[in-house]
Structure 1
Amino acid sequence: MKKLSRLLRYLADYKLKIALYFTTNLLAILFGTFSLGMLMPVMKILFLDTDAPVADSKDDSTSMLAKATHFVEQLVHDLGRSKTLVYAAIAVVVFTMLKNLFLYWSQYLLNPIRNAVLRRLRDDLFTKMLSLPIGFFTEERKGDLMSRMTNDINEVELSIMATLEVFVREPLTIIITITSMLYLSIPLTLFLLVFLPVSGLIIGRIGKSLRRSSNIAQEQLGQMLGVIEETLTGMRVVKAFSAERHQHLRFMKVNNEMFRTRNKIASRRELGSPLSETMGVLVVSVVLWYGGNLIFSNNSSLRPEQFVFYIALFTQIINPFKNLSTSFFNIQKGSAALERIEHLLNAENTIKELPDAKSIRNFNDSIEFKNVRFAYGEKVILDGLDLKIQKGNTVALVGASGAGKSTAVDLVPRFHDVTGGEILIDGVNIKNYKVDDVRRLIGVVNQDPILFNDTIENNIRMGTGGATKEQVEEAARIAHAHKFILNKPEGYDTVVGDRGTKLSGGERQRVTIARAVLKNPPLLILDEATSSLDTESERLVQDAINELMLNRTCIVIAHRLSTVQHADEIIVMDKGKIVQRGRHSELMQQEGMYRKLVEMQQVK
């Protein structure tokens, strides 16, 4: 029950509807019991004791049954057996119609509740995923996260939410039916109840192992989605290196493991229904034997017509017990999926905002790295970084791959938090500002332009809070993108495809630059924005970047050192530390890493 606490909290918002659902189920069960109850007086009067005189209902100890019997006796006496049978049939039909009407109403009430809970669970999961820091996603497999967002949610829907009605309706059915059975015969019902816990114990032991296997199956599905996602993303590499067989073997390994696990789960799950039915038939046989002996003896108050009604009632609780046992299996299976969802929902967000965080709309003086350290576990990425960037200046970070350049700039928008030292904006630690406000100050253009499967216009407008068409077009002009966009068949309404695959590399980059232009940030971060482009595209993109950099504070990461020679300051990094700093002309006069890197590129 603890694992279902989140779902129960969601359900708490629908107390009134749940109460109505409970009431409609109760009425459906009662009318179903009434329709069965017609069997007893009709059996007695029409088939067992038709020549008996009309009895006085006050003389019978079971007054309610006696009143029903007396009423039917009176009908037979007044109308005859044939008409009484017609009225009895009509009563059964009416009671059955009322039963099914209330069953429909109960489903009409339940389905919106169930769908609303699942909608909220999906929304909470996606919202949580958006709130987690970048570092979380570097440690998790994308396929596994996708599996939790899709297949695990579906598993919860099929295995847990679909059984909610069972856990309301079936216990009600069992309680009302067993109460009626106790009313008819206490000894027979107590004898019956001895056998029911035995089947529950057997089914429970099987269900315990099912949950463990279900968890493994969901993890394997996450691994499979990861292999599929990696293969689709890297299909060009797979084809180029003739690695189809290698990827197929990876896929088949996980696929075969999941095949075996799911077969094991299915064999145990499917055992629940036949096992409960077998136990039910066994108990019915015992009831027939024991109840028959009670009737044969003269010491029991149980009469033949009551025993017929008793058997009819008992058949009504076989399916509820069967459904409960099946639901128990499903709950065990679904709780494994819910556990994986809870793991993501409970993941700690290491980027915390202070309760009294300040707002910031612009910065006036500088951004400063003060003895900044950053590490992944034991691996130190930045070690004692000191850097001050004055407003309006352009600072370039250069150095070999793995020197810590990208990590350093990722700390400014708080994609990660420093593990030592601090980053200051106008002398105030960025942790004292609201996270969203800090990120609004910053525009980012990455080496790999990231576009979404939407129109060009919406990709440019993304995150700007409803810019006008004219503003979008002006941003595209500044980014040297307006002309090629108009040449597209649908202009700004052209859908760029998955990850922007319908555009060339230079076109994708200019769209991302237009996005940054429209945001109009005071601080711009350029992370190898032209390194993957051909010469013509690089020239167009560089012109767009030059337009973007005007009157802005810029942090530029570059391997092509020719693009940063005019920077106000060049920071040379190696192994997480600053080893040189200065302007291009100053660094070229020194015997150091920067000069060595420039000379190596000139030789190329």
Structure 2
Amino acid sequence: MKTFQHFLTYYKPYLGVFFLDLFCAFLVSVIDLAFPLILTYCTDVLFIQKSAEILDGLLILGLFLFGMYLIRAVCRYYVSAQGHIMGSYMERDMRKDLFDQYQRLSFSYYDRHNTGIMMSRVVSDLFEICEFAHHGPENLFISLVKIIGSFVILAFIFWPLALILFLVTMIMLVFSYFQNKKMQETFMDNRRKIGEVNASLQDSLAGIRIVQSFTNEEIEKTKFEHSNDEFLESKKRNYHVMGTYYSFNNFFQGMLYLTVIVAGGLFVAQGELSPLTLATFALYINIFVAPIDILVEFTEMFQKGFSGFKRFEEVMKEIPEIQDAKDAKDLEHVRGDICFEDVSFTYNKEESVLEHVNLTIPAGQKLALVGPSGSGKTTLCSLIPRFYDVDQGRVLVDGQDVRDLKLKSLRQAIGLVSQDVYLFSGTIEQNIRYGKPNATTKEIVEAAKKANIHEFIQSLPEGYDTYVGERGARLSGGQKQRISIARVFLKNPKILILDEATSALDNESERIIQSSLDRLSEGRTCITIAHRLSTIQNADEIVVIDQDGMKEKGTHEELLKKNGTYARYYHLQFSKEEDE
């Protein structure tokens, strides 16, 4: 019931359209119910009069019927057109709410869920909801008006036969209720399985370069076929249940005709019912059965829409792990002091990554983090902008716990350049502008110059309007990295995090980009996660981290003199570079 109440809230902005839609549906139903009565009037009253009176009556009746069916056509247009538009608006609103919720959810949610399944909820699930949002209330209303209206008329015509029909209809409804429960289970399974198909498709297409480079097309085909076949099996189970539902409902509809013929014939034989009245009864049976067909179709639509909405609601009920505290305040006049006080962190409350870390980074200092993969360097940096929250201890920026600050103001003060550069589909200018949406063209060009990418952009036929392709596929790794650096120049944050920003580049690209990074880090608190130790020799302080925590701390020269872990890393890397 709560789910249904939540669904109804999406009608609120469109109540005027909704009630007018129902009113038009009501007029259509009343006009359909009126025709057998008009036909009865003609046979019982009009057609037994004199020819002149019949002709006069037919003229009036013809004009009345013309006006009636003209109104019916206008109402049908409104129901079909405006009703669908209302459903599309509701779908738009739900899609917006779902997208907004995805934007709010924390990194931990994305760690646990597949992108393809999330996309399935945005696209296919909401389409089913849109169809139900429009057709559901309309079909239900029309059907109830016709069923109740025709039953009332049948009761006035001859109530004993109407009562027998009512009993047969009740048996049909009881069967439908229990069959509906089975349909709901199969439709929910359908939604899950199509989500898995989308997940498999998205995964394969996103990694198509890896797939083809390893010639693993057959493996991907096998994976996709598995999820596709699972969806097929789910659909088959669904259609078996639906087939049973439709066939038995069709059988019960036949029983209604059988009841009219057999029971009505008995009443005629006993002289309690005239053949003409029985014929009128038969006409109303058609009107009575037609909305039952619509109700049967409504049931399928309801189950599809409702199962889609339940999956939609599952996401909407997710509470973001990272969100502003009630009394959170803006981070103002940022200096860039950072302090980790007895910080411990585990992923999913199981995998311990950081334990009792204490580290102070004064404003403007250049700190480098060194250590093996999996030692927690990136995780430590992810705690500063609150991509994750600490399990124990505090992370302070300018002496304030990051959990007491508004996320937007905190993250606006932090710039991130990572090894895995993400460029959005669009132009080079649009990707640089992402760092400051209201930036002028002059500011964008200046940021590009500082990132050593301006001359390259100018050499392109379309310059800053050059389309970069999906994820920047039309650019080299170094070019994408420099665009991401230009983006951070434009953002102009006080705190800078460089997460192995040059580790995937060749030596020439590394030198160009390192020059850009050195310029970018001037006057900012800069934390560099380094793979190549040659890039951090000028750092104010270097911290060595491994699985057991912080091992060493000092300048490049001080750590070499200690002849410890850092010195071993450095000599191993230096020897390797000398050999190369």
TM, length-normalised to structure 2:
0.94
User: Is there any run of 5+ residues in structure 1 with no aligned partner, and where?
Assistant: 51-75
Alignment match, 1:509: 481
- Aligned counterparts of 1:440 and 1:245: Cα–Cα separation in 2: 45
Aligned partner of 1:600 among 563, 569, 572: 572
- Aligned counterparts of 1:13 and 1:126: Cα–Cα separation in 2: 19
**1:431-484 CA distance string (max 9 Å, x none):** 111110000000111101110001111111115231111111110010011111
Compute the displacement of 1:407 (Å). 0.4
- Aligned counterparts of 1:582 and 1:25: Cα–Cα separation in 2: 79
Aligned partner of 1:269 among 225, 242, 254: 242
- Aligned counterparts of 1:311 and 1:324: Cα–Cα separation in 2: 20
- Aligned counterparts of 2:119 and 2:45: Cα–Cα separation in 1: 66
Q: Which moved more, 1:81-90 or 1:335-344?
A: 81-90
State whether residues 35 and 91 of structure 1, in contact with CA within 8 Å, keep that contact through their aligned partners in structure 2. no
State whether residues 475 and 514 of structure 1, in contact with CA within 8 Å, keep that contact through their aligned partners in structure 2. yes
**1:126-162 CA distance string (max 9 Å, x none):** 0000001111101111221111121222232345543
Whichever residue aligns with residue 129 of structure 1, its letter is: Y
State whether residues 378 and 499 of structure 2, in contact with CA within 8 Å, keep that contact through their aligned partners in structure 1. yes
State whether residues 368 and 387 of structure 1, in contact with CA within 8 Å, keep that contact through their aligned partners in structure 2. yes
Confirm whether residue 457 of structure 1 aligns to residue 457 of structure 2: no
Whichever residue aligns with residue 341 of structure 1, its letter is: F
Whichever residue aligns with residue 5 of structure 1, its letter is: Q
Aligned partner of 2:468 among 496, 499, 509: 496
Q: Which moved more, 1:178-187 or 1:367-376?
A: 178-187
Q: Which moved more, 1:439-448 or 1:9-18?
A: 9-18
- Aligned counterparts of 1:259 and 1:25: Cα–Cα separation in 2: 37
Alignment match, 2:457: 485
**1:86-143 CA distance string (max 9 Å, x none):** 5545543432332232232333442232111111110010000000111110111122
Kindly tell me the number of residue pairs found equivalent between the two proteins. Answer: 575
Whichever residue aligns with residue 361 of structure 1, its letter is: E
Compute the displacement of 1:45 (Å). 4.2
SS of 1:388 mapped into structure 2: strand
State whether residues 40 and 305 of structure 1, in contact with CA within 8 Å, keep that contact through their aligned partners in structure 2. no
Alignment match, 1:569: 541
- Aligned counterparts of 1:25 and 1:323: Cα–Cα separation in 2: 13
State whether residues 361 and 441 of structure 1, in contact with CA within 8 Å, keep that contact through their aligned partners in structure 2. no
**1:253-284 CA distance string (max 9 Å, x none):** 21112112112213333444444333212202
- CA change 1:112–1:246 in 2 (3 A) is closer
State whether residues 272 and 326 of structure 1, in contact with CA within 8 Å, keep that contact through their aligned partners in structure 2. no
- CA change 1:411–1:405 in 2 (3 A) is same
SS of 1:402 mapped into structure 2: coil
- Aligned counterparts of 1:241 and 1:78: Cα–Cα separation in 2: 90
Aligned partner of 1:135 among 108, 111, 134: 108
- CA change 1:160–1:259 in 2 (3 A) is farther
State whether residues 450 and 489 of structure 2, in contact with CA within 8 Å, keep that contact through their aligned partners in structure 1. yes
- Output aligned runs, 1:132-531, within 5 Å: 132-159=105-132, 161-298=134-271, 300=272, 302-364=273-335, 366-376=337-347, 377-531=349-503
Task: Give the RMSD, CA atoms, in angstroms.
Answer: 2.0
State whether residues 359 and 434 of structure 1, in contact with CA within 8 Å, keep that contact through their aligned partners in structure 2. yes
- Aligned counterparts of 1:95 and 1:36: Cα–Cα separation in 2: 14
Q: Provide the identity percentage.
A: 31
Compute the displacement of 1:80 (Å). 4.3
Whichever residue aligns with residue 369 of structure 1, its letter is: F
- CA change 1:496–1:179 in 2 (3 A) is same
State whether residues 569 and 581 of structure 1, in contact with CA within 8 Å, keep that contact through their aligned partners in structure 2. yes
Whichever residue aligns with residue 97 of structure 1, its letter is: L
Moved over 6 A (4+): none
Whichever residue aligns with residue 352 of structure 1, its letter is: Q
Q: Which moved more, 1:561-570 or 1:156-165?
A: 156-165
- CA change 1:83–1:262 in 2 (3 A) is same
Whichever residue aligns with residue 207 of structure 1, its letter is: N
Compute the displacement of 1:536 (Å). 1.6
SS of 2:562 mapped into structure 1: coil
- CA change 1:142–1:114 in 2 (3 A) is same
User: Is there any run of 5+ residues in structure 2 with no aligned partner, and where?
Assistant: none
SS of 1:38 mapped into structure 2: helix
State whether residues 485 and 517 of structure 2, in contact with CA within 8 Å, keep that contact through their aligned partners in structure 1. yes
- Aligned counterparts of 2:16 and 2:208: Cα–Cα separation in 1: 53
Q: Which moved more, 1:478-487 or 1:572-581?
A: 572-581
Q: Which moved more, 1:195-204 or 1:185-194?
A: 195-204
